[in-house]
Amino acid sequence: MKLLFVADPLETFKTYKDTTFAMMRAAAARGHALFACEPKDLVWERGGRVGASVRAIALAAPSSAAWFVEAAAPAAMALADADAVLMRKDPPFDSEYFYATHLLSQAEREGARVFNAPRALREHPEKLAILEFPHYIAATIVTRDEAAIKRFHAEQKDIVLKPLDGMGGMGIFRVGPDGLNLGSITETLNRNGTTTVMAQRYLTEITAGDKRILVIDGVPVPHSLARIPQGSEIRGNLAVGGKGVAQPLTARDREIAEAIGPTLAARGLLLVGLDVIGDSLTEINVTSPTGFQEITDQTGFDVATAFVEALERALA
């Protein structure tokens, strides 16, 4: 099959940990042809179909300087002519990402098969998607009102505030029982009342890790990747120095994943990353979930192959 990956520039991949690279490697091992483009390459013109200038690539030998070789010069391809289009552009989910999902929706109308489904990407913002499942989350408030945040802090005593468009732990603040800097932090995040933010009760279980649970076509991978904060840091994100430790799913992890996973899969989300701290769901990642290589390297469970097999079933 022809698999077209819409992703960040290939030259920027950190192949020792990149999940999209792991997907490509597993797909190539199963005989699939690899193509790649960036969101900026997508184009539609009246009378035609959504297309892009794509690169046909093959994986290079491990000893090569570059991890891929180009089989030919970049060439125009209609997305509907690929057997599957995999949207793997990393966050942030900004206006350009949003516009790209609309072009991908048009490609779907023209016959393209897109994973994750662009409509589902738009309808599941990664911070706010948890609101649909309130019985699995900790005390949470979403607001731009400073007074409401102060009331929430007074009730919960120890809270975390975060922007709705953050990634990799960016812009996350903890305010303890003393309330130190709550006003200043709120003003910074809500931009003096013009931007909506999220606040949640601080979960002490973060010291044991912020667990990433991968769910493929509604079925959880049997191991999570616990991102454990280091030193004085409260964030476990790998991007800010967290240590990734693979571990078997707990009974609660599996309960959450098995309850939510099939619902999300039915909406076109073939791959989802659930973030769980202790027993509480904190985030639902749908844009470009990661963690494949860390889990595989530490446990032997081949996450990428499991994903490609699920993709093949979806296309059958």
Active-site pick, 217, 253, 283, 294: 283
Query: Residue 110 carries which side chain, given as an amino acid letter?
Result: E
Q: Which DSSP state fits 204?
A: G
Render 90-142 in DSSP notation, one character per residue: PSP--HHHHHHHHHHHHHHHTT--EES-HHHHHH--TTGGGGG-GGGS-SEEE
Helices (H), the chain: 19-29, 95-109, 118-123, 146-156, 182-190, 251-266, 292-299, 303-315
233 is catalytic: no
Active-site pick, 25, 55, 201, 212: 212
Active-site pick, 55, 88, 89, 162: 162
46 is catalytic: no
Active-site pick, 235, 237, 253, 294: 235
Which residues are CB-contacts of 83 (< 8 A; sequence separation ≥ 6)? Answer: 1, 2, 3, 113, 315
Q: What is the pLDDT of residue 274?
A: 98
Say which residue the tokens 């003003």 belong to.
187
For strand 114-115 and strand 210-216, is the pairing parallel, antiparallel, or unpaired?
A: unpaired
157 is catalytic: no
Active-site pick, 49, 88, 127, 201: 127
Phi, psi of 210 (to 5 degrees): -95, 105
In terms of Cβ atoms closer than 10 Å to its own Cβ (0-12, 13-18, 19+), residue 55 is buried
Residues across the chain = 316
In terms of Cβ atoms closer than 10 Å to its own Cβ (0-12, 13-18, 19+), residue 302 is middle
CA distances from 288 to 27, 44, 164, 272, 297 (A): 17, 24, 16, 8, 20
Active-site pick, 116, 190, 237, 285: 285
3-state class of 224 per DSSP? strand
Dist. CA 91–CA 32, nearest whole Å: 26
Q: What is the pLDDT of residue 165?
A: 87
162 is catalytic: yes
Q: What is the pLDDT of residue 235?
A: 77
192 is catalytic: no
Phi, psi of 288 (to 5 degrees): -155, 65
Domains of the chain: 2-123 (3.40.50.20), 139-202 (3.30.1490.20), 205-309 (3.30.470.20)
> Could you read off the pLDDT tens digit of each residue along the chain, which spans 316 residues?
999 999 999 999 999 999 999 999 999 999 999 999 999 999 999 999 999 999 999 999 988 889 999 988 999 999 999 999 999 999 889 999 999 999 999 999 999 999 999 999 999 999 999 999 999 999 999 999 999 999 999 999 999 999 998 877 788 999 999 999 999 999 999 999 999 999 999 999 999 999 999 999 999 999 999 999 887 777 777 777 789 999 999 999 999 999 999 999 999 999 999 999 999 999 999 999 999 999 999 999 999 999 999 999 999 9
CB 175 within 8 A of CB 182: yes
Dist. CA 249–CA 274, nearest whole Å: 12
Give the residue from 160, 85, 136, 141 showing the smallest Cα distance to 284: 136
254 is catalytic: no
Active-site pick, 25, 89, 201, 227: 227
Q: What is the pLDDT of residue 253?
A: 98
Q: What is the pLDDT of residue 20?
A: 98
